[in-house]
Every structure is written in C-alpha cells, then in structure tokens.
Amino acid sequence: MIAPVRTAGRLPPQSGTAFEMARGEVLTIVDPEGEQVSDLVAFARADRSEVLSSGRSLDYNATLRLTTGHVLYSGASRAMFTIVEDTVGRHDFLLTPCSGDTFRIIYGYEGPHPSCLDNLARALAPFAVALAAIPTTFNVFMNVDVAPSGALRVLPPLSRAGDRLRLRAEMDLVVGLTACSAEMSNNYRFKPIDYEVSA
C-alpha cells in the first residue's frame, strides 16, 4: 500500500519553504538533478523554543555521519526525526545556514545575495519563528570533509539525480526547507529540490 501524499512541491533554486508535519508523517527530500544541498530545520509545533539541535544529535548518535537509523534531536533531548532512508550517506550538521555575512566573509560579496537564512526566515515568519531563532541546520546532501588537523573543506555533494533522504517525524513539527544558495556547497551551480510529506 502506497502512503498518501499530503503535500509536495519543487523548490526553485535559491529558495525556501515551511510547513507543518504531524508525528508519524514522513518527509522525503529529493535531489532531482544532483549535487544540490537542502537546509532543513525543525521546531516543536507546541513550543517554538524547542528546536532541532546539531550538538544533541551529534552527541547522542556519536557520529558526524548521520544516516539511516539515526535520530535527530531537539535541544530538549527529545527525538524530532528518525532517518528511515538515505541513498547518499553524506550530510552536514556542523555549518550554519548561509547568510549575507557568509557571502561577505567567505566569498567577498559586497551586495545582496540570496541566502538560506533569509529564505528560512521568510518562510517561517507565518509560523511565529524569528530569524534569530533559526539554529544550525541539518544540511542534507552537503559534503563537508574534516581533516585530521580539524580543518573543514566544503566539497561537491555526493548526491546524484534522484537521490533522496526520508525522515519520519517523531513529534508534531514546524519544518523549514531550502534549496541552498551557497555557491561552494552546490559545486557552483544552483538547482531545485523536490520534497513531499506523506502519511
């Protein structure tokens, strides 16, 4: 039996969206063209101050390489998502969503530039989530290498056309999702992200 799809869409390059999920629903994030990152963030629907936590998730899973079977936790140490399918196996939970300051400091941009932080803030505003409340995102398909020295390198994503990540909601959530706007993260070509929420 195929689970009914409640909502689905395609995020254009350098854009974002937000939506609610009920406990038990599954979010599928698909890279339709390959080498495209998607920033994911979540808040407890009952209390927006309870937010997805990089630190708790990495700590409790004891790995930087979160994949099938791992749980993503909130700052209150409650399960928010379980990863139920992962066709790539390489994602990032260290780096913050790109912002105007990212492009000024890393890329040398002086003018405006689309960013995941701004796109998430706009999408989440109707859900009473302020920009300052957006934490480190779970950067789906992002390929960050950690050298023995501790140095970080952003490499091209390993995702190919059609690769996907499926996450089961472990509580009622408000979710933000992007098609990432950072050049280096996406091998210098911006592409869409597909997503669907199913029962």
Residue 191, φ and ψ in degrees, nearest 5: -140, 170
Would you say the pTM of this structure is higher than 0.75?
A: yes
pLDDT (0 to 100) of residue 107 = 86
**Tokens of residue 92, six digits:** 């990032």
36, 180 Cβ separation under 8 angstroms? yes
pLDDT (0 to 100) of residue 52 = 98
The conformation of residue 196, written as its DSSP 8-state character, comes to E
Among 198, 42, 33, 196, residue whose Cα is nearest residue 123: 42
Q: Which residues contact 17 (CB under 8 A, 6 or more apart)?
A: 9, 11, 123, 176, 177, 178, 195
171, 43 Cβ separation under 8 angstroms? no
Q: Where are the beta strands (DSSP E) in 5-160?
A: 5-11, 15-21, 26-31, 38-44, 47-51, 71-73, 79-86, 138-140, 143-146, 152-155
pLDDT means per 10 residues, the chain with 199 residues, are 75 98 98 98 98 98 98 98 98 96 89 94 97 97 96 97 98 98 94 97
DSSP states of 4-24? PEEEEEEEPTTEEEEEEE-TT
DSSP states of 151-195? -EEEE----BTTEEEEEEESS-EEEEEEE---TGGGTT----EEE
Among 67, 9, 24, residue whose Cα is nearest residue 198: 24
169, 23 Cβ separation under 8 angstroms? yes
* HSE value, Cβ hemisphere, 13 Å, CA-based, for 133: 19
pLDDT (0 to 100) of residue 1 = 47
The conformation of residue 133, written as its DSSP 8-state character, comes to G
